[in-house]
Chains A and B, each alone.
Chain A
Amino acid sequence: MTWRAAPDDRRRRFGGRIAGATGLFVLAAAMCPQASSATPLSYLEAHGAKAYPINNLLWALIAVSVAVIVMSIVLVLMGTFRGRTFPADALPGRLEVDPVPRGSIWIFTGVGASTLVLFATTVWTVVTLAAVSDPPGGKADITIEITGHQWWWEVLYKGSHKGTGPDQILRTANEIHVPVGQTVGVELRTGDVIHSFWVPSLMGKTDLIPGQINRTWFSASNPGIYRGQCTEYCGRQHAHMGLEVIADEPQQFAAWYEHALQPAPAPVSAEARADLDAFVVRCGACHTVAGTQAAGILGPDLSHLMGRRTLAAGTLPNSIGYLSAWIADPQHAKPGALMPRLDVDGPELTRIRRFLLTLQ
């Protein structure tokens, strides 16, 4: 399965980015034939108001670093191989020892120049830090609460453009829809251990820590699908704790939101009723589907599951085959996951799957 990155707008803002590109990016491109759209977690490209200033700084630092490395290698090699060396077998004779105390000029010049670069970097760092600390205008357009769990993401929208009443609160999992161009405030909590929320092309990492709420924000400047990942080691399935941010035009987002608030359709046939019952009995203790008796809170909310692109926190594509395999044995794709193998038999699996397929 491939992850699709957002359309590339390639804003060129500072010379640092260009200079950096000639250094490391050539190297990266040479070593790795894939195009950047094939590297969904890369942070060499930015797609949001919070990410742009940081990306510029990153490229500038890469440029400085590559230049320093090249210069140092040249200095060491030139110093070593310029015809003044003794061969290795020159020992153990009494070789010349240079008594002239000179060379300090290297230290004064080199350290002086380094200090200027370091000082400039410090200033740029602090300026960037101040620029991205709060969303532009000081207040986010919408706010979502994200709770980390071993090993999935709970997502709670605390209201829409229609208000923050109880009927506008939306709970979902592992997939975050946001409107393009609007600032999204994020409140980060955890249900168990420390996790870290990271969507590379939109924002850097912020940890989810027990006993505290960390607030941050991001925004997406282009429509697209942005891959995210837990980046604080959180136990056995840390590797499989992905997420996706889907940025849509505001009206599309509003339509999605409206749809996502709808409860599951009531069963219209006896068969559909049996399917629902099978789901509630086998899955309802841990999972919620709005509008049914399934109201468990240990696992991800499955309302509108079929609207999502992936299963098991970005681990599997959401297709009928993977869905069946996941229900039959979650421990195969994600060993150690807290969803046990339930030993559902064939007919029961069919019923549960058929019910889930109705959750458009």
Chain B
Amino acid sequence: MTVTEYERAPEIVAEGYDSATAAGLKALWETEPGIKGWFSTVDHKEIGIRYIVTAFAFLVAGGIEALIFRLQLAGPELHLLGPEQYNQLFTMHGVTMILWYAFPVLTGFSVFLQPLLLGTRDMAFPRLNAFTYWVFLFSGIFLYVGFALGSVPNAGWFNYTPLASRPFNSGFGIDFYALANILLGISTTLGSINFVVTILRERAPGMSINRLPIMSWGTLTISVGLIFSMPSVSLAFFFLWMDRRIGTHFFDGSGETQPLLWQHLFWIWGHPWVYAIVLPAISMISQILPVSCRRPLVGYTALALATVMTMVLGFGVWVHHMFATGLSSMALAFFGAVSILIVIPSAVSFFGWIATIWTGRPVLNTSFLFCAGFIIVFVIGGVSGFMTGSVPVDWQLTDTYFVVGHIHYVLIGWNLFAVMAGIYHWFPKMTGRLLDERIGRWNFWLMFIGFNVGFFPMHISGLLGMPRRVYTYPEGMGWDTLNLITTVGSYVFAIGFLLLIVNVVVSRRRGAIAGPNPWDADSLEWSTPSPPPPYNFVVIPAVASRSPLWEERLQAPENRSSIGEGMVLDHGKEIAATSAIDAQPEVILKMPEDSILPLLTALALTGVFAGGLGPMWWLVAASAVIALALTCVWLWPRDRLAQTARPHP
């Protein structure tokens, strides 16, 4: 193609996945085999799966850390770990799970699924997508390199100053933590921008905003939220690093510095972050549950608005992490009230799911079991959160094991149980094979029982006064039995999780062939073969309802989507861009081909942060120059990507 076309009417044809058009598209979109292709692919499906696998690797690391220190806490006054070792392990456990597992795993699902749910062929910025994955991976490796070198953060994932400031914390552990987090923040922010543009501008024609798959609402909402909240914490990490390595005094407790400022900057991001790692999971449940229950979701509009409302209110609750810091009663009353009222949107989701189950006819497969288990732990985590919103009660609950129980119900219950449901649901789409249902059943019951046996007693040891973050505890406080039960439960839970890995390993090779739509589900990704071809859709579908694949049973014939017939878009790697609200086709976008540049730029960027450790200014400067040069090459204008061709529908 030498001359760029600026005006063109796309062909509307009916084509199958075995047609010549499909073969042509495959040649255009396919990643070249071999090592070079592996490092340069921009295929969102490949990147999404990488995200999930990497996040699970961090989950296993964080899990092993927890299993080690649960032994230390199994009884009073044990000496398996010293205080410093314990403090490092609980810090790494929290940091790993909250930052390098819980969000990236959802990003992985979103990266894999969003273009398929929306009926398009890739993310809006495919190279940026690859770049955000590499930066995420390198930031995690960076953190764990510090661990391997003995520079381990030990001030908790919340990292309060001045305990994390240099006068009280020498060594490089906190620097690894701060720099790795800034790096991860870059990945998160860019990823969020990519999702917002993808979801707002790449939906299939006709998929107006009120037909957006419910799962996309979760991703869209938290992406907007993160664009606003990440700068705060990235700045805080940068200030912290400057305090420690340049000699500034933002938080270190000397003179007029403000250690409390750290907490504000941290939690004004931290609480929206909590929603960022649960809202996409919640909306994943809203996506899966109706398929299991054989009916459309009850209260789609209410649940979508509840998702948005949670995020909005989520920006007004950060002080509930700081109720004991001596703020004015006025502030406490305000933030307490918002923290209680934020339960309302959660109630909307809860009753929507209950209604979906009661008015539907559930299929009792593993992903439904995880959905049902999710709803129960969702409620337990919800009511314990509601209790901490009540300021005077929180003065008692905060920093005891009650809150440890609460956050594990939120982070494991609301995140991991949804992710498990998601894996059982979408594994066939990702690999073409079904996971084994019998192992799945064991998988669910061991995890569900282990989780509740392990984590529910934490609430009670908390009410009996056990403080958080203690490396040991004395006898005679009434906590011994409860802690032993917690340790046993955590191991049962871990064995349950192990069954997932077994199931994945076995089923990837020997699982039953799934076919395009094994669950008879309603959303667009199930109209493609499993796994989907590199170009996703041979023709861009036109959507007429929220459940395009169930229309034969739900819609009158004149109001049906067109799945097999649509725009071909095969003059190069092309997708259709549509308008933000009504999804009217506007422009044919030319997508970039695979490139090694995202990987190289991510490496150079990581070099900048590695240089921050000393600080080694030469490394910072050299890496920055390389990163800048690579960015110029990456962004150099190219005629073939000119985005001005207009479709005439």
| CB atoms of B298 and A107 under 8 A apart | yes
CB-defined contacts of B457 to chain A, threshold 8 Å: 31
Once bound together, how far apart are the Cα atoms of A192 and B252, in whole Å?
A: 10
Contact between chains at A231 and B468 (CB < 8 Å): yes
Contacts A39-B464, A211-B253 hold; do A235 and B163 have CB atoms under 8 A apart?
yes
Determine the distance from Cα of A73 to Cα of B298 in the docked complex, in whole angstroms. 19
Structural contact, A97 and B472, CB atoms closer than 8 A = no
Chain A CB within 8 A of B380 CB? yes
- Interface residue total, chain A, C-beta cutoff 8 A: 106
Give Cα A71–Cα B425 distance, bound, in whole angstroms. Answer: 28
The residues of A that contact B618 with a CB separation of less than 8 Å are none
Q: Is the CB of B395 within 8 A of A121?
A: no
| Minimal beta-carbon separation of A52 from chain B (angstroms) | 11
Question: Is B559 an interface residue, CB under 8 A from the partner?
Answer: no
Q: Does A251 contact B (CB under 8 A)?
A: no
User: B399 touching A232 by the CB < 8 A rule?
Assistant: yes
Q: Is the CB of B386 within 8 A of A118?
A: yes
Give CA–CA (A48, B405) in the complex, Å.
27
Pairwise interchain contact B465-A40, C-beta atoms closer than 8 A:
yes
In this assembly, does B390 line the interface, its C-beta being within 8 Å of a C-beta of chain A? yes
Residue of A nearest to B334 (CB): A126
B387 engages A98 (CB within 8 Å): no
Q: Does A43 contact B (CB under 8 A)?
A: yes
A95 to B477, CA, bound (A): 56
Knowing A40-B477, A80-B372, A237-B83 are in contact, say whether A86-B362 is a contact too (CB < 8 A): yes
In the bound assembly, the distance between CA atoms of A103 and B519 in angstroms comes to 23
Mask, B264-308, CB within 8 Å of A = 1, is: 000000000000000000000000000000111011001000000
Cα distance A79–B292 when bound, in Å?
13
Tell me the number of A-to-B contacts counted with CB atoms below 8 Å: 329
In chain A, positions 50-94 with a C-beta closer than 8 Å to chain B are: 53-54, 57-58, 61-62, 64-65, 68-69, 72-73, 75-76, 79-80, 84-94
Closest 9 CB pairs of A and B: A204-B395, A41-B465, A39-B478, A106-B355, A214-B326, A110-B351, A103-B355, A103-B298, A239-B470
21 contacts between A and B (CB under 8 A): A40-B465, A43-B463, A58-B387, A76-B357, A76-B376, A95-B294, A96-B294, A97-B294, A97-B553, A97-B554, A98-B295, A100-B295, A104-B298, A104-B299, A111-B351, A121-B386, A129-B392, A193-B160, A210-B259, A211-B258, A238-B471
Given A107-B302, A109-B351; 9 other pairs, CB 8 A cutoff: A42-B465, A54-B396, A80-B357, A86-B294, A103-B355, A104-B302, A106-B352, A204-B394, A231-B398
Interface residues of A (CB under 8 A from B): 1-3, 24, 27-28, 31-34, 38-44, 53-54, 57-58, 61-62, 64-65, 68-69, 72-73, 75-76, 79-80, 84-107, 109-111, 114-115, 118, 121-122, 124-126, 128-130, 132-133, 188, 192-194, 196, 198, 200, 203-207, 209-212, 214-216, 227, 229-239, 335-336
Residues of B within 8 A of A (CB): 82-84, 87, 155-156, 160, 162-163, 168, 253, 256-260, 294-296, 298-299, 302, 324-326, 329, 332-333, 336-337, 340-341, 343-344, 347-348, 350-352, 354-366, 372, 375-376, 379-380, 383-384, 386-387, 389-396, 398-400, 437, 441, 457, 460, 463-479, 481-482, 485, 515, 517-520, 522, 550, 553-554
